[in-house]
Chains A and B, each alone.
Chain A
Amino acid sequence: MESQLGLIEQSLNSSYSLWVREALDEIPDNFTITDPCICGHPIVFVSRGFLKMTGYSKNEVIGKNGRVFQGPKTCRRSVMEVREAVREERAIQLNLLNYRKDGRPFWMLFHMCPVFSKEDGRVINFIAVQVPLSRKARRSGSVFCRNGVILSGEGSMINDVVYGSCRKEVRSDSLLELGPVLALDSALDSDVTELEIEEPCEASDLDKIRAASAINRVLSVLTHYSESTGRLVCGKRCYLSALGLLSSSLTISLGRIKQSFVLTDPHLPDMPIVYASDAFLKLTGYSGQEVLGHNCRFLNGEDTDSSTLYQIEESIKMEQACTVRILNYRKDKSSFWNSLHISPVRNASGKIAYFVGVHMEESCNDQGGRGLSPEMRQLSTVGAVKIAVRSSSMGAGSSKS
């Protein structure tokens, strides 16, 4: 639990140095930054504008998943679209109903995009910008937002910077119908009745541009500060990587599985590791770089029983699952008894794409305190891996799993 908070704290620092926060604080827009590598995909940075808009304090937001701002009237289909965009690591812009701390709902233009590591193409962060949208409350109940562009021809662009396009929009309406003074102040606070709030609100082109340029502002700060740590990031996925052996959607799905496991590719010479979970790295003391591309045999040592190794070899040859108890060694040469379960994993074409090895350090079996037995947890990891591999390789465009 401590460590989760620590991870959140460290998240930005390690990629962008300590100074990035100050620079981000200078940006006036409403935005949040999340770290998909941390369990639960929490928000690791929140802008002042966002806090002001929602009425929450910083501590109430950091560590939460963005979904806590959703509520009963949030369109579930839109939430699904966001979910798919996150899963597929692509940008998305849509209108979303969120709730303030005091429970009042509001519409916003939600613009989210991934931030990639230049080195290996992994997603380091997601950025989301939230541009509040306003609408006129009409007595009839049929409510819509006038397109801000209507007035842009009349030279009202000047105020855009000051009021934001949402206010400007109301102002433009107000010029037409309500009278400017009233509208300016009530833009965000106007009481939209419960019935009306469900009707989707439309974003103007200006709102969209505003969201996109806010994203760019945040992105350029992150890019800039990533230079100081040498861990360069960028807004476009780069394919320079030698480690990009798995598709990113598979990597994301696997990243959600918290047990210690590795995937090995039987189609590559010497069956190297192509994915190692964080828990595996923690268990063995190696870094990702040190294990990827290598056969698992570095886990064995002097006292590892060769008949057990033979048994593993045979099951792999027979393409069958097996469970063994094997003496393994960490990077620091200390040994541990590993109850190892190995199983073939098929991709969407039904062919064996990988073997998964799920590790369980024997003495720790009962830590974690979950109700499931260690064996059950091991098997549930196998199941989760099978689903991840199968699902991520069935995509219309994806050729490799």
Chain B
Amino acid sequence: MMLRIKRVPTVVSNYQKEEAEEDRVGGCGRNCLRSCCIPGSKLPLYAYKKLDKVACAKGLPQHESGEAPIAFLDSLVLGQWEDRVQRGLFRYDVTACETKVIPGRYGFVAQLNEGRHLKKRPTEFRVDKVLQPFDENKFNFTKVGQEEVLFQFEASEDGDIQFFPSAPIDAENSPSVVAINVSPIEYGHVLLIPRILDCLPQRIDRESFLLALHMAAEAGNPYFRLGYNSLGAFATINHLHFQAYFLAVPFPIEKAPTKKVTTLDGGVKISELVNYPVRGLVLEGGNTMEHLSYAVSDACICLQDNNIPYNVLIADCGNRIFLLPQCYAEKQALGEVSAELLDTQVNPAVWEISGHMVLKRKKDYEEASEENAWRLLAEVSLSEERFQEVTALIFEAIASADNGSKDLNEEQEAKPEATDEVKAINNSSHPAIVAGTQECLVLQ
């Protein structure tokens, strides 16, 4: 048996056509990111500084200088995004969509978005396979227009933040890029597409997840979060991507109490969400950013290898990561979801699970309550029994990987923590006063 659901796919690019209209191949002429258009093309390039372990161990990635100066990456995303607003590239003005915090303990956020799914026919999606091969014939991000791409994002060679307003696209190296989502669910909605030209399927690997974590840390804004949906957990495009946007209120999932389960050798603390409608794990801390990143990506790899759909939220500047295995699509395909919930057409992907509910019907928006949100999300969650099973699988996977990485980093870990602390505060003494440390080198 094959499980499928029908849903309206989200239009993330202006070049995303109905499958039927798709592919008038050749010559292109639309300035895309494929070999036809890349030669001679340029895009801004932001090269981030790999965080040293002190800064990270301190839990203070890069933004010691405080909340006041808008961090560089933050400004870059905002400025480029607003530029695309004024160039009219979005399908609607998301700031014209009504939104509110629903009264209640958790503060679920509701948005009425009637435009997001207009003019699209429902399409069938296979939901019982978390890993599917990349399909050249379906829409993928190499087909977006270059005007939809905001900048290239990569690690800096010499360890300093660098910005090149106009850098050639090096097809050989398959750049990672940040592009707009033309159907935004909040201001600044972008997609991070790791090594775009490699055409990776939607599947987490260590390197790509670390890239996403760097983006969160680099933006240094707790209200700029990244999210990931696996296939079977409401990803609609099978081309590796993370999403991100700005929403300057805490998400309910961030407020949920947690219960510590364990601390890994690398210092990563793992907790369980308690008193939240969706069961999930929270990973935080870690002696280095890599420790945290590898723990999460190993957990994700374990889930996808076991064919368990999941969502990931990267919150708090990359300091807290929520991992949420789910089973809604499966239930939906099996006809186990009530008509009442289905009627809302809410697809519980990472943002909805985190407490940001995008509603399509005015009625649902007006009647939105903590109780309704809770009822929907409760359907997304694994049962307690299944969750414990899945958690056990994850721990097994992480534990074996953890031992591996520990050996690699033995030298670093041997250092006494005290020294790190002293260094950290010494380091931060300048940025705290000199707002301009966030400045970066401009090379033309």
Where the two chains meet, the residues of A that have a C-beta atom closer than 8 Å to any C-beta of B are 1, 4-5, 38-42, 56, 60, 63-65, 67-68, 70-74, 76-77, 79-80, 83-84, 99-104, 195, 198, 253, 255-258, 321, 345-346, 348-350, 369-373, 375-380, 382-384, 386-388, 390-392, 394-396
Contact = CB atoms under 8 A, between A and B. Distances in A.
Contacts of A392: 248
Question: Sorted from nearest, which 6 A-B pairs have the closest CB atoms?
Answer: A40-B66, A103-B418, A383-B78, A391-B248, A380-B79, A371-B163
A258 B107 contact: no
A256 B68 CA distance: 4
Nearest to A70: B59
Given A40-B432, A372-B163, A384-B70, A68 B97 contact: no
Given A258-B68, A348-B99, A394-B109, A103 B422 contact: yes
Nearest to B287: A72
A103 B58 CA distance: 10
B285 A391 contact: no
B157 interface: no
20 contacts: A39-B68, A40-B68, A63-B432, A64-B425, A65-B64, A65-B65, A65-B66, A71-B421, A72-B267, A80-B250, A80-B254, A373-B165, A375-B79, A379-B86, A383-B81, A390-B248, A391-B247, A391-B248, A394-B99, A396-B107
Given A41-B68, A396-B107, A348 B76 contact: no
Given A101-B425, A377-B79, A371 B442 contact: yes
Contacts of A373: 165
B260 interface: yes
Given A80-B222, A349-B98, A372 B68 contact: no
B102 interface: yes
Given A60-B429, A63-B432, A376 B99 contact: no
Interface string B91-110: 00101111111111001010
Interface residues of B, number: 81
A49 to B, nearest CB: 19
A1 B433 contact: yes
Given A256-B68, A369-B439, A396-B101, A68 B60 contact: yes
B263 A198 contact: yes
Interface in B419-444: 419-422, 424-425, 428-429, 432-436, 439-442
Nearest to B108: A396
A391 B100 CA distance: 9
Interface of B: 57-60, 64-70, 72, 74-76, 78-83, 86, 93, 95-104, 107, 109, 163, 165, 187-188, 222-223, 246-250, 254-255, 257-258, 260, 263, 267, 269, 284-287, 316, 319-320, 416-422, 424-425, 428-429, 432-436, 439-442
Contact of B82 (A84, A349, A379, A391): A379
Contact of B102 (A39, A372, A396): A396
A84 B250 contact: yes
Nearest to B419: A103
A4 B64 CA distance: 15
A83 B98 CA distance: 25
